[in-house]
Amino acid sequence: MHGEAMKTMTPSPILTKRPASERGTANHGWLQARFTFSFGQYFDPDHMGFKALRVINNDTVQPDGGFPTHPHADMEIFTYIVEGQLQHRDSMGNGAVIEAGNLQYMSAGSGVTHSEFNPSQTDETHLYQIWLHPRKPGGAPRYAEKPLGDEAPGNALTLLFSGNGRDGSTAIRQDAEIFFGHAEAGQELSVPESASMPHAWIQVVSGQVSVFGESLQSGDGLAMEGAPEAFPITGVSELSRFLLFRLS
């Protein structure tokens, strides 16, 4: 190029914002739910999932309310408790009360049953439940918990789950990486490069962040197609928390 070095241009990712206010809704009295993707009686052909992501439900469970024993199979299920508590029991023999700020993982595999209840008589439980398709069906069910209060430092991205269990993360049955982000105002967190996972989804749990010029507030989601290079997520509000999914 007439003495100038040829530069490789990295294309910008395709961004699709999913505003919190546009999500599907359900009100069952004991449960108020917001659906990022089609779920149950809420159906929108334009929002059926993103790559391996199939469900992002933002639930508020009233005191003493919950889901009685029900089955799952061939799904990777993650539950993040934002406020309150969730009592879990399953057919693998696990029984625990998941506290606010902690995250639970259950790989349904070839089949599992479980129940989820708010054990409080006075306080609501606010949570996110997220489902990913596994890379292939079957396998024995698995269970794990992530105490984010101990493992997620401030102003950092913490890798919680990955397909190969790298860097102390819990191995899951999908070629994906799940990070928990915690950012104060003005802090820039760098998402590491991952050429094998060129897509990403960010779900803001609380606060406000900026990604590729998009402003995202509590409950907002953003799909990013074709983002293999490292990219920043910047905290805007005093304190922001979010989940980040790198996807193949």
**Angle subtended at Cα 30 by Cα 240 and Cα 102, rounded to the nearest 5 degrees:** 35
Whether residue 8 has pLDDT greater than 60: no
Pairwise CA distance, residues 14 & 11, whole Å:
9
In the three-class reduction of DSSP (H, G, I as helix; E, B as strand; rest coil), residue 235 is classed as strand
Report how far residue 85's alpha carbon sits from residue 213's, in angstroms, rounded to the nearest whole number.
35
**Contact between 112 and 159 (Cβ < 8 Å):** no
Residue 11: pLDDT band (50, 70, 90) is: confident
Domains of the chain are 14-247 (2.60.120.10)
Per residue in 147-204, pLDDT (tens digit) is 886 668 889 999 999 999 999 999 999 999 999 999 999 999 999 888 899 999 999 9
Judged by phi (left if over 0) then psi (alpha if -120 to 50, else beta), residue 207 lies in left
Share of the chain above pLDDT 70, in %: 95
Question: Rounded mean pLDDT of 52-57?
Answer: 98
Mean pLDDT of 82-103: 97
